[in-house]
Structure 1
């Protein structure tokens, strides 16, 4: 039977004090809901159902924009938030009864390992359980229901903390994480047995454990060795705690694969990032999205790369790279900004206070300092003087600048697009180029320099006399 993950993501999260749904708050570079979906996918869940409610459209829009609007994610809306049991009823009403293992998990628990989910499903299949409970042993169990289980893992009851006797509180340290694997057939056949006879008037999925025990259906427990992976996020403070756990988890994995970090506490790397061996990540480095960094690079300090591709042996110093690529042996920064599909070929350079948007820089070409190049293509062996700007926007349209091979552009040059500079051309400093420059030509555009000897001395003398 195929396995299904039902991910509960309908809550508003009032403790977040936000206009956005709780599950859209970001842990590192991705929303909480994304991490839960990722864990379910990596665990091999063949069907993923996301139960949305508060801010439902924002959640849907995010996954659509991220390229995840495919058949592997199905959305079910819980219009009235009447508890976790009611959320599962909404899934049944929308999709019908689900067969096979059904894992119910939470979008605000972003740290769950895929292997933990796989272990839960394996236990459920092996014992033909109606319900398999994932448990943990946190240092302070006072906020959790206690699992009363026999030595063989058979669950007798889950007792809420406030209902425990002093003896039970002392003896029962194993806690319910709230994450379950159900037999889909038995779950949907019995979900209507849950009542809302409680102070909150809600339908709690936890009650299914007691219902199954009363029916004589098999219920057992799987214990998670690391309670951190089952930490929930209900506030911004808890979000920061979870982010630290994930930061350490990712960074330790990278260091184990041959990546160096001067201070791992000051390096933040997203889950989809790949970094090659012998690369060093310096403090205040952020690698987000689907960034790929090659081998023998130095990234940082104070650098942020989002959906960037970096080749081997590159230096990225105090630089921001967004949706752009640099090839091998490229130097960037300090304080460079590459965006919008910029592409630097081998041995090229983006220097200090340089911004490039949608620009291709050829092999060995240099943009050393204080320049903006937008919508341009540079050939190989080009040198761009400081203060050069491509004037690529006329207020309505974007136009391109084409620069050939081995071109020298002097300082403080404006290239008014559309314009083409031919191979081996030279453009003098302080020129405003509005027409194409042929290959091998010199192009200058300057007004005549006027010099009047003694004028300045007379001027200063006159000011002194006026005082």
Structure 2
């Protein structure tokens, strides 16, 4: 197999997005659009991937990280000028170079690989990725000769009436013989209204040298959508959402309403999971088999064990065991680990805590900076008082303890194994093993007082 290289064009600001965020960093289902392009190129085994950056260069580099090398296009003088910036990395290398825009996140790895293979088999110096669309108005038409090779690419404004009937369009993605590409780029001029250097001019230059230029058609025209504004971004997100959801459906996941379920591309879900409408599964989340999610549940960067039920709740950066029951309206904040067969009920908030197996926190409690053992029952309205105004402190509750309703556990404090805390107590000292802690004022009844007040 020939050496393969890739150039991603990502220097534009994207003024039509009307955003402070640079265009290629706008997210689709939680992932910057340019990252989809990079992830789709990885399976094609490109040896060098070069991203041409300009506006927001440092932010783009920070987001992409080590997945690419970078070259800077200080002035945006056209697509050919952008590709020229990669010369110092790729010139004189033998092989195939794909040039793709960073705002085309829907092109799949399969399409990229087919384009590479078609180009390498054809013996062409350039291969254009094309597609057929019903209404090609505004797009450059691909005009083929009798042999089926590309004769020329004609912009809509320059096309004859007969050429305008052509439905095959240029998508802006190309494969080139690398050495031929950089040789031809030196001959591109800016003799046009915008005084820019355009990459399609390379096709004309190669044709003038009697070189072969071929075209590979992708059947799914939706893949080639370029994102230039928020409308296109919305369309792309819907397409990607359907694509991802259908993948999970084929893998044995039940998604009750795919149009109202949002699953990020890095999420993994085992078979026989049921996801109800309004749910958002984000980041590096994994859902174990037979689990029920939703409705209206947000889960981000979490591992969820099998046979767990999570209803109308928010979870982030946490691990949940098997056969747990969470919600409705629970909030599990980062760095929390919930064990097996745990019950986390309505309006319970957990933060940076460990909850042992078979422990129950049924409702209306805050557990923060706490280590809870197994078989504990936490009564309604319990609070671990973890913050003294300067530092956070840890509450420890050992196995089989029972915490009565409306208890304040003022950290640092330890409730030892098997102990009870009476309802309404404020606990400031450790509670010994198998003890009962009562920390509340003695009740006083003043008979007849209410009647006297009413008079």
TM-score interval (norm. to shorter): over 0.9
**Deviations 1:414-463, CA, capped at 9 Å, x for gaps:** 112221111101111121212111111111111222221121222222xx
**Deviations 1:51-77, CA, capped at 9 Å, x for gaps:** 1111122222223xxxxx22x311222
The one of 280, 287, 304 aligned to 1:293 = 287
2:338 equivalent to 1:344:
yes
Structure 2 equivalent of residue 138 of structure 1: 133
**Deviations 1:241-276, CA, capped at 9 Å, x for gaps:** 111111111111111111112211111111111111
Structure 2: gaps (5+ residues): none
Q: CA deviation at 1:151?
A: 5.6
**Deviations 1:289-318, CA, capped at 9 Å, x for gaps:** 111111111111000111111111111100
Distance of 1:396 and 1:184 partners within structure 2: 61
2:80 equivalent to 1:85:
yes
Structure 2 equivalent of residue 49 of structure 1: 50
> Would you say the 8 A contact 2:91–2:178 is kept in 1?
no
Kindly tell me: are residues 435 and 54 of structure 1, through their superposed partners in 2, closer, same or farther at Cα, counting changes over 3 Å? Answer: same
> Would you say the 8 A contact 1:154–1:219 is kept in 2?
yes
Q: CA deviation at 1:322?
A: 0.7
Distance of 2:39 and 2:280 partners within structure 1: 21
Structure 2 equivalent of residue 60 of structure 1: 61
Q: CA deviation at 1:181?
A: 0.9
2:443 equivalent to 1:442:
no
Structure 2 equivalent of residue 7 of structure 1: 8
2:197 equivalent to 1:196:
no
Q: TM-score, normalising length from structure 1?
A: 0.94
Distance of 1:419 and 1:128 partners within structure 2: 75
How many corresponding residue pairs? 454
The one of 97, 108, 116 aligned to 1:121 = 116
> Would you say the 8 A contact 2:131–2:221 is kept in 1?
yes
> Would you say the 8 A contact 2:330–2:344 is kept in 1?
yes
SS in 2 for 1:122: helix
Structure 1 equivalent of residue 164 of structure 2: 169
Q: CA deviation at 1:340?
A: 1.2
> Would you say the 8 A contact 2:385–2:411 is kept in 1?
yes
Structure 1 residue ranges, 4+ long, deviating more than 4 angstroms after superposition: 94-98
1:233-382 alignment, distance < 5 Å: 233-382=227-376
Kindly tell me: are residues 410 and 441 of structure 1, through their superposed partners in 2, closer, same or farther at Cα, counting changes over 3 Å? Answer: same
SS in 2 for 1:41: helix
Q: TM-score, normalising length from structure 2?
A: 0.97
**Deviations 1:142-180, CA, capped at 9 Å, x for gaps:** 12100011365411100001111111111x211000001
SS in 2 for 1:148: strand
Kindly tell me: are residues 460 and 43 of structure 1, through their superposed partners in 2, closer, same or farther at Cα, counting changes over 3 Å? Answer: farther
**Deviations 1:328-351, CA, capped at 9 Å, x for gaps:** 101110011112121111101111
Distance of 2:97 and 2:351 partners within structure 1: 47
Structure 1 equivalent of residue 449 of structure 2: 455
Structure 2 equivalent of residue 464 of structure 1: none
Kindly tell me: are residues 456 and 97 of structure 1, through their superposed partners in 2, closer, same or farther at Cα, counting changes over 3 Å? Answer: farther
Kindly tell me: are residues 458 and 253 of structure 1, through their superposed partners in 2, closer, same or farther at Cα, counting changes over 3 Å? Answer: same
Structure 1: gaps (5+ residues): 64-68, 462-467
Distance of 1:28 and 1:409 partners within structure 2: 42
Distance of 2:359 and 2:14 partners within structure 1: 52
> Would you say the 8 A contact 2:421–2:436 is kept in 1?
yes
Q: How large is the RMSD of aligned CA atoms in angstroms?
A: 1.4
1:61-76 alignment, distance < 5 Å: 61-63=62-64, 69-70=65-66, 72-76=67-71
Distance of 2:44 and 2:146 partners within structure 1: 27
